[in-house]
Amino acid sequence: MTLRRDVLAAIDADRGAFRTRVSALIDEHDIDAVSVPTESDSPAVSAPAASDHPADRTEREAVLVDRVRALDDFPLGLTLTGPAYRDTPVVYVNRWFREWTGYALDELRGRNPRLFQAPDADADARADFREALSTWSTVTVELRNRRRDGTPFASRVSLRPLFGDAGTVTHWIAAQEPEPL
């Protein structure tokens, strides 16, 4: 399996399995300079970082943000967004992706990830994303996006819905790896 899909599965793992899965993929993918994150079996109660401000953050969202934050230095971009019915607003983007794109977290939070879209974005890839969002399904596409300074970049993006206890999609997680232009 690819690193993208392995990481998406780890983020969506049952509580307690997250650390085991991340440890395994660090070994399997030979990732250096990344420590195995810790996550207790209790709900996330860590204080938000100074740049995290939503006071109404749910316990589930706090757990998901903590998991993505734990993978800040993984060599791929991770984007956690809210539900599609709210225009999939960015909740958290890992540090690696922020550095790669040149955006600060405060510039991204609350905005739709299509802000990365290059003017010449592939219409078929965009249609695949829209279909996945409307059918609550996983999709992988190759996209041509742009950094904050307008520089284009290509990436392979895997998008996965994250379901809540009621069986509805509460969040979406995307993992991106650079591709040659």
Distance between CA atoms of residues 100 and 116, nearest Å: 12
Sheet with 90-93, strands from edge to edge, namely 90-93, 77-81, 169-179, 152-163, 139-146
Mean pLDDT to the nearest integer, 127-145: 93
Residue 173 DSSP label: E
The mean of the pLDDT values for the chain is 84
- Residue ranges in 12-58 assigned as alpha helix (H): 17-28
Q: What percent of the chain has pLDDT over 70?
A: 85
| Residues 41/73, Cβ–Cβ less than 8 Å | no
Query: pTM of the predicted model, to two decimals?
Result: 0.84
Mean pLDDT to the nearest integer, 53-78: 83
Q: What are the pLDDT digits (tens) for 4-56?
A: 888 998 998 887 788 888 888 888 877 775 666 655 433 343 334 433 444 45
Q: Given the structure tokens 């997250």, which residue do they identify?
A: 18
pLDDT at 75 over 50: yes
* 58-179 CATH fold: Beta-Lactamase (3.30.450)
Distance between CA atoms of residues 55 and 90, nearest Å: 16
Cα–Cα distances in Å, from 152 out to 35, 73, 175, 180?
31, 22, 18, 11
Domain segments of the chain: what residues?
A: 58-179
Mean pLDDT to the nearest integer, 81-108: 94
